[in-house]
């Protein structure tokens, strides 16, 4: 039997690469595993040899100690792989298939799945709707920053690439289909961005950059990206975005300099609960800053897409209210302007096939836009540290040597 190396959370600020068990078609006990899931049979699943698995900003929230994640939790929800074993009940996925794994685990059988709300599946997490690999309070499914990983409900969950050679050639783009590209697209789409729109994206990390690419794909006339990090703003400009430097203050004045008016048609929050203030407060954490600023800069009747992560348990928050996800949001502003809001996990399966086709037919270069950089699995601690320090890079782990130097 093959060995299995994986990246695990080992306490605030620390990850390590450890040996774990090779997966089987039965859920075992372990860090973060819901007791009700222990012993669960997964004959509807497959085992993948991981081709690529990415470091995500959502992982960083856990690694910073900003969630209730237990030590020893194997990380990783952005997975692309080759099928090496299939469970007894798998009918259509075959050994040798190259596949993308949506980060949200869904059963395909419950009411929400049948309504394409796969981010809030009712059957995969005993605690609450919705689940994901390697993530706190998400049912305890083992993460995919590993050499091998189990994927349940394989016929339903997996997106099979039509041609192996083409998939491996474009793998740095296709690896973004597991999360950040659909998530960014979801933010842009639910904000109502379309042909001729003016759009503001808060945050120039990988999800924000993916949202900016998606806004362009949807036909936006102008895409403006705001951030505090000059390297990430430069990355946004590299593919045609306008930018706002939030160290200089609130975005309205800079938006007006670009558009002639201080408002946009649509806005996306790609920052989430670790947001910092703007201008003189740019060094201070103020978790409601982005949501409140987006309500100010979005024109009446517009919409906000909010793929940025917000949590109900944040032990590192500055206030008691924020520790349970209660933020000082100016809902009155949103109400007065008749703004629409869409929050929560992206239902990846709603978008991933269409985005795959855009990649395969050269309509988008998402890996270039987010500055994808492959590194080895053993280099994961370095990747986490550099990403946490603000690197304008999307780190792609290469656990089994599919990507050549």
**pLDDT in the model for residue 225:** 98
Give the mean model confidence (pLDDT) for residues 329-354. 96
- Residue pair 210/180 in contact (Cβ under 8 Å)? The answer is yes
Residues 9 and 145 in one domain: yes
204 belongs to a structural domain: yes
When the pLDDT of each residue in the chain is averaged and rounded to a whole number, the result is 95
Residues 157 and 171 in one domain: yes
Is residue 2's pLDDT more than 80?
Answer: no
Task: Pick 318 or 212 by higher pLDDT.
Answer: 212
Q: How far is CA 181 from CA 232, 239, 261, in A?
A: 17, 15, 29
Structural domain total, the chain: 2
Task: Please report which confidence band the pLDDT of residue 126 belongs to, taking 50, 70 and 90 as the band edges.
Answer: very high
405 belongs to a structural domain: no
pLDDT in tens, 39-55: 999 999 999 999 999 99
**pLDDT in the model for residue 1:** 55
Residues 32 and 117 in one domain: yes
Is residue 61's pLDDT more than 80?
Answer: yes
pLDDT in tens, 218-272: 999 999 999 999 999 999 999 999 999 999 999 999 999 999 999 999 999 999 9
Q: Which of 303, 323, 343 is the last residue of a domain?
A: 343
Q: Which of 304, 328, 343 is the last residue of a domain?
A: 343
Give the mean model confidence (pLDDT) for residues 336-342. 97
- Residue pair 187/199 in contact (Cβ under 8 Å)? The answer is no
Q: What is the pTM of this model?
A: 0.96
Residues 126 and 170 in one domain: yes
Give the mean model confidence (pLDDT) for residues 204-219. 98
Give the mean model confidence (pLDDT) for residues 4-19. 96
- CATH number for the domain that contains residue 57: 3.90.180.10
Task: Please report which confidence band the pLDDT of residue 149 belongs to, taking 50, 70 and 90 as the band edges.
Answer: very high
**pLDDT in the model for residue 282:** 85
- CATH number for the domain that contains residue 313: 3.40.50.720
404 belongs to a structural domain: no
Residues 327 and 387 in one domain: no
Q: Which of 319, 343, 367 is the last residue of a domain?
A: 343
Task: Please report which confidence band the pLDDT of residue 139 belongs to, taking 50, 70 and 90 as the band edges.
Answer: confident
Residues 187 and 160 in one domain: no
Residues 57 and 161 in one domain: yes
Residues 337 and 352 in one domain: no
Task: Please report which confidence band the pLDDT of residue 314 belongs to, taking 50, 70 and 90 as the band edges.
Answer: confident
**pLDDT in the model for residue 32:** 87
403 belongs to a structural domain: no
Domain interval for residue 59: 5-179+347-398
**pLDDT in the model for residue 60:** 92
Is residue 405's pLDDT more than 80?
Answer: no
273 belongs to a structural domain: yes
Distance CA 394, CA 132 (A): 20
Distance CA 178, CA 170 (A): 14
Instruction: Report the percentage of the chain scoring pLDDT > 70.
Output: 100
- Residue pair 134/143 in contact (Cβ under 8 Å)? The answer is yes
Residues 163 and 80 in one domain: yes
pLDDT in tens, 359-402: 999 999 999 999 999 999 999 999 999 999 999 999 999 999 99
280 belongs to a structural domain: yes
Is residue 154's pLDDT more than 60?
Answer: yes
């Amino acid at each position: 039997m093959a060995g299995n190396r994986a990246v695990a959370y080992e306490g605030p600020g620390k990850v390590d690469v450890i040996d774990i068990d090779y997966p089987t078609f039965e859920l075992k006990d372990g860090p973060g595993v819901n007791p009700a899931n222990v012993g669960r049979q997964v004959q509807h699943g497959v085992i993948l040899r991981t081709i690529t698995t990415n470091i995500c900003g959502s992982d960083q929230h856990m690694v910073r100690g900003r969630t209730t994640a237990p030590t020893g939790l194997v990380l990783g929800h952005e997975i692309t792989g080759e099928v090496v074993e299939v469970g007894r009940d798998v009918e259509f996925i075959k050994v040798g298939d190259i596949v993308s794994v949506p980060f949200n685990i869904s059963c395909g059988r419950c009411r929400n799945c049948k309504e394409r709300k796969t981010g809030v599946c009712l059957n995969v997490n005993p605690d609450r709707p919705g689940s994901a690999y390697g993530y706190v309070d998400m049912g305890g499914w083992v993460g995919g920053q590993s050499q091998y990983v189990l994927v349940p409900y394989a016929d339903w969950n997996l997106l099979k690439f039509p041609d192996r050679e083409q998939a491996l050639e474009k793998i740095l783009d296709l690896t973004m289909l597991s999360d950040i590209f659909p998530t960014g697209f979801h933010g842009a789409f639910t904000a109502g961005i379309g042909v001729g729109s003016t759009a503001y994206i808060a945050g120039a990390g990988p999800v924000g950059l993916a949202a900016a690419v998606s806004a362009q794909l949807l036909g936006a006339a102008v895409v403006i990206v705001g951030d505090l990090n000059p390297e990430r703003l430069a990355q946004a400009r590299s593919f045609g975005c306008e930018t706002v430097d939030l160290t200089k203050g609130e975005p309205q004045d800079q938006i007006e300099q670009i558009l002639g008016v201080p408002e946009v048609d649509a806005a996306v929050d790609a920052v989430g609960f670790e947001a910092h203030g703007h201008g003189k407060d740019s060094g201070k954490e103020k978790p409601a800053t982005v949501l409140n600023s987006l309500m100010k800069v979005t024109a009446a009747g517009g919409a906000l897409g909010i793929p940025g992560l917000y949590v109900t348990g944040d032990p590192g928050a500055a206030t008691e209210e924020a520790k349970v996800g209660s933020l000082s949001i100016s809902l009155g502003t949103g109400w007065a302007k008749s703004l629409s809001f869409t929050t929560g996990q992206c239902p990846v399966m709603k978008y991933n096939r269409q985005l795959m086709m855009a990649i395969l037919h050269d309509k988008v270069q998402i890996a270039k836009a987010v500055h994808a950089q492959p590194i080895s699995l053993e280099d994961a601690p370095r990747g986490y540290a550099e990403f946490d320090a603000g690197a304008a890079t999307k780190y792609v782990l290469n656990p089994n040597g599919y990507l050549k130097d």
